[in-house]
Structure formats: C-alpha cells, structure tokens
Structure 1
Amino acid sequence: MQWAVHGERALYDTPWVRLRALEVEQPDGERCEYHVVRLRDVAVTAAVDEGQRVLMMWRHRFVTGTWGWELPMGLVEDGEEPVAAAARELEEETGLRAGSLRPLVRAEPAAGITDSRHFVFRTDDAVHVGEPVERNESDRLEWIALPRVRAMTQRGEIVSSATLVAVMALLLDVTMDS
C-alpha cells in the first residue's frame, strides 16, 4: 500500500527545521493534509580503539533536560556527503581525525513524520590531531569498553536515538567480527 503526494506547501522554514503540509492520498483513496518535518540528515561516528573501546561524549540536551552519553555527530551540510560530515564532526567535537571511515548503518528515526536520515560510520584508525574546536558539545570525552555499552543503554545512560542505533549496530558489528 502506497500513499501518493499531490502537493506540498511550506508552513515554517528555518535553517534547521522546515514544517510542510502535504496533500496526500491514502491507499483507500481518501485525501487529507499531512504535516511533515523536513530536517537535514545527521552523520554519526563510532571511533573504536585497539582496546575495543568506543569514544563517547557526556553531554546535556537542553531540549529534553537530560544528560547522556553520545557519539560524535552533527548535521550534514548542503552539498556535503555524509561520510565527510562524519569525519568533520568527529574532528571538531573530539580532536580525532579518522584515517578511514566505513558505513555501519543508516536509519530513519521517525519516517512517519520526518525525512531525516542518520548515517553511522565506524573508524578504527582515528588519531589525535588537537583539541576539540566545538566547545559547547560535551562536558567530557571518555573511551568506553564495548561490553559496558549494553548495560549503559539499559540504565538509560544512552538515550539519543542516533547513538542508540549506532551502538547497537556497532555491537552487532563486533559480534560478527568475532
């Protein structure tokens, strides 16, 4: 069953969020207005070291008023490839430069209401090149042993959907490598 889009009009536009009203036809033939949030894509990097630890950031999200562990991530700029955004964000937020990045997973966190895609990459050869230039991203960085990550999700220490999807894919990737 496929929905058909017959038109789209802007309700609200900023550089971060675009709210749109779509005229849609549902599979049963009924037409209605459906609101969609158009967001830029997100690139996420799981940096893993030789000790099978992943670099995570402890940060506060003021929108939800929560603290949690997250992977380095950020918006994909116009005209930028997700892999380039992942490399850029890793370096800006952590001071690490990825030697190589490989795709780990792609997710659409709320496909029924937003078109944002999350691209997750893994690097196993990042090197320290300096201090983070993004001073407002996190309180601290910490290398966390992969076996600890599952328990952290169960305790609610990791709640960001982009990070949750990424660490679950990372844990599956590690399991597959074993």
Structure 2
Amino acid sequence: MDIELPDGVKFTQYVARMPRCAMTLVINENREVLLMYRHRFIIDQWVWELPGGYVDHAEDVATAAAREVQEETGWRPRTMEHLVTYQPAIGTLDQPQEIYLSRGADLTDTAPDINEAEDTRWFSLDEAMDMIGRGEIIGAATVVAIYRALSLAR
C-alpha cells in the first residue's frame, strides 16, 4: 500500500493480512491452565502454548476457539467468554487475535491430533508465569492470556 506521511514523505508499506485466530485459556478450579507442548518450525523451538487456530470464514469465533481446544487437547471447554482481542504486529501484519476464557473443561473420548502437540498438561498460573520468564512460553497469545488471567485473579 502506498503511504504519504503528513510531512509529504511517500513510501510503500508492505502488509500481510492473515485470517482471524481464536485461542482459549482454559482454567480449572485449582487455577491451573491447560497448555500444549509443540514444536514451532518457524523459530525451530519447542514451546508451551494455548490451544487455538484459524477461524473458518463464517464460523463464530467463540465456536472456533472451543473447537480448537477439543481438537488439539481432547478437552471440551465448559464455558466461553471473551477475554481480550489484540493485533500481534500492527506495523506490518493485520491478524486479529481473540482469546477466550473457559472456566473448566471436561475430558472427552476425542484423541488429540498428534500433529498438533507432543504433550498437553495443566500448570498453575504461577508456574506459567515462571515459564514465560524461562522462555518456555514465548507466543504472544499465551503470554497475553496468562498476564490477563493474573490481572483478573487479583
């Protein structure tokens, strides 16, 4: 896209437009969060993160977020409430990210997709914060969700 700044400087701004994403922070009655351990090929690193993915064209965002939890972890969220919407890199990327909060989940007979995660586990919010500090959680959605959950818990 061609841009002209107020001082008259002109340049071409490259923009990547990506589909909307929906993730879910599932938290149980013990204040533990459900995270997935997966390899992210772009950065060639194993990390812990929230379940989530792209929203299909006409799909309701909360429905997509709940679907992703069950497909990727085998847990079905009990509730879905909007937690936060953000854009991860508004300088060059247009990709709305919506995070939902589920208070509790039920284990289903659905086997998690083996291509999605190596492991799925529950961690206390405090442990998740420590994992951010150790670089085990680095994805923006997971970091944002954990900080937001901690702010709500206070």
TM-based fold match above 0.5: yes
Are positions 1:124 and 2:103 aligned together?
yes
Q: TM-score, normalised by structure 1?
A: 0.82
> Whole-Å Cα distance in 1 between the matches of residues 74 and 88 of structure 2?
28
Deviating 4+ runs (over 6 angstroms)? none
Q: TM-score, normalised by structure 2?
A: 0.94
> Whole-Å Cα distance in 1 between the matches of residues 76 and 6 of structure 2?
48
Give SS of 2:24's match: strand
* Residue-by-residue CA offset, 1:97-127 (whole Å, 9 max, x unaligned): 1221111111111011011011011101321
Give SS of 2:94's match: coil
Q: Which stretch shifts more, 28-37 or 41-50?
A: 28-37
Are positions 1:157 and 2:136 aligned together?
yes
Of structures 1 and 2, the one with the larger relative CO (CA 8 A, separation 6+) is 2
Give the superposition deviation at 1:133: 4.3
Aligned runs of 1:5-154 on 2, under 5 Å? Answer: 22-154=1-133
**Contact 1:55/1:144, CA 8 A, preserved across alignment:** yes
> Whole-Å Cα distance in 1 between the matches of residues 109 and 46 of structure 2?
26
> Whole-Å Cα distance in 1 between the matches of residues 10 and 123 of structure 2?
50
Amino acid in structure 2 at the alignment position of 1:143: W
Q: Which stretch shifts more, 65-74 or 163-172?
A: 163-172
Let me know the Cα RMSD of the aligned residues. Answer: 1.3
> Larger Cα Rg: Structure 1 or Structure 2?
1
Give SS of 2:117's match: coil
Structure 1 unaligned blocks of 5 or more: 1-21
